[in-house]
Structure 1
């Protein structure tokens, strides 16, 4: 496969980026008032942290091949004024892997299970990368409990033309390459597409290490699931879309205008695909602007 001819970021983004039962089990409580625990969603253990109190809940959902720890700065900062929950989607982090379906709808059910079983109110769903589609679907599933969704470095090409026949062939080639040499393909993808020139080395190392050690079966399955139709679902949402995006790659907003999707775009400058860990203070500032608009 000729990697230069195959833009993995575009192909994967086209398919996934633009995108219960049981009682909560409290395992331990820390001095910072954070509870680390888990719930069950269709027999899958879903790990989460629960911090702070408030009438509004910020529920953070991580992106592909990483985990809830990437929201640590936001948990500390916003946990002083909000109830803040950070969760591991099924198959990632400390959550279980014992199921066969890993599509957007199934991952969204993990989010909905957390909302239901923790009895969360006035929920703002915040989803990074692949989790954009996940929180969108979760919000559609529970319009009475979710007051807003916030995408983090995603929804950058809403309304773009569908994948061509050649794109689909290249995508299948990329998936097959991942299956045969997951670490090599994904680390090349991250290094060449998802970091900026200013991304600190320690953060790069952390991300690449987490990606290299993720469950490869789950990781490939989430990419292989097929296209989640973001545009019609954003229309169906009937809520304003909030975005906190990095500017290392531009956000095309013409699709929002053309499809009459209300949106608010804020940007974090000088970071790659992971603004919440690359520039947490600036990210929190931009998220504050979003929350202020939601309150209005």
Structure 2
């Protein structure tokens, strides 16, 4: 069912609710994503859990008129939806940039019992600040956004076995945004040191990561009280889209070990 909640700054946040069960799984997409990134997960899990898919502000069918883009505001988008569904047992699933934002959101939502990160925050000691983001990312988006999406980003987001249909889909979705909007939506990720947030997380944190880059378990366990992860082989940055069947089995197993 298509629904809307209102974030703390008045932005209308679109979400879908489906399935059944006392435990709610809230899926939050990454940069330039939308609720449809999680369709196969919904179909797989909806008979066991109450499933929520969120469009963060600036994405999908949610409002895009926000003036102050911050991690805290993204967390408020998630909280607005969590408050509206009124569930007492929530697991937040955050992909890519939203891995950071579900950390913030979990501190605002007492009902959150666990976090699942998808190919994100793989080494909390590997800190990428706003100046570095400007030098290595944003300058390319400003100079030639289409070229960046089609020729630069694929080097970091995809692997040889990433299906062409997935690449084409994501690049088409990315190019529906202006360079300015794409930058504004991503900037909050580099304006905050999330290690300080991680230290406050007392609930279990699990990760499902691509083996395309290493996960630093030792580093992450310095900050998270309870952290573990599973690697998926032969996928890039979008395991839920690239190998959905394998991802779903892993995700279900992770959830069942958390509840």
Task: Select the residue among 167, 172, 181 that pairs with 1:204.
Answer: 167
Task: Select the residue among 70, 79, 91 that pairs with 2:37.
Answer: 70
> Any runs of at least 4 consecutive aligned residues in structure 1 with deviations exceeding 4 A, and if so which?
none
User: Are residue 234 (structure 1) and residue 231 (structure 2) matched?
Assistant: no
User: Are residue 153 (structure 1) and residue 116 (structure 2) matched?
Assistant: no
String of CA shifts for 1:35-89, please: whole Å, max 9, x gaps.
0122222321211110011110000000001111010000111111100000100
1:55 matched residue in structure 2: 22
Residue aligned with 1:91, SS: coil
Kept after mapping to 2: 8 A contact 1:91/1:215 = no
Alpha-carbon distance between aligned partners in 2 of 1:95 and 1:260, rounded to the nearest angstrom:
31
Alpha-carbon distance between aligned partners in 2 of 1:114 and 1:170, rounded to the nearest angstrom:
30
String of CA shifts for 1:197-252, please: whole Å, max 9, x gaps.
00111111001101111354332013333332222211101122110111111211
Superposition pairs of residues 1-296 of structure 1, within 5 angstroms? 35-41=1-7, 42-142=9-109, 144-160=110-126, 162=127, 168=131, 171-172=134-135, 174-225=137-188, 226-259=190-223, 261-295=225-259
1:10 matched residue in structure 2: none
Alpha-carbon distance between aligned partners in 2 of 1:234 and 1:184, rounded to the nearest angstrom:
35
Kept after mapping to 2: 8 A contact 1:156/1:250 = yes
Residue aligned with 1:245, SS: strand
Alpha-carbon distance between aligned partners in 1 of 2:90 and 2:15, rounded to the nearest angstrom:
15
Inter-CA distance 198–105: structure 2 relative to 1 (3 Å threshold): same
Unaligned runs of 5+ in 1: 1-34
Alpha-carbon distance between aligned partners in 1 of 2:179 and 2:79, rounded to the nearest angstrom:
25
Alpha-carbon distance between aligned partners in 1 of 2:159 and 2:69, rounded to the nearest angstrom:
29
1:6 matched residue in structure 2: none
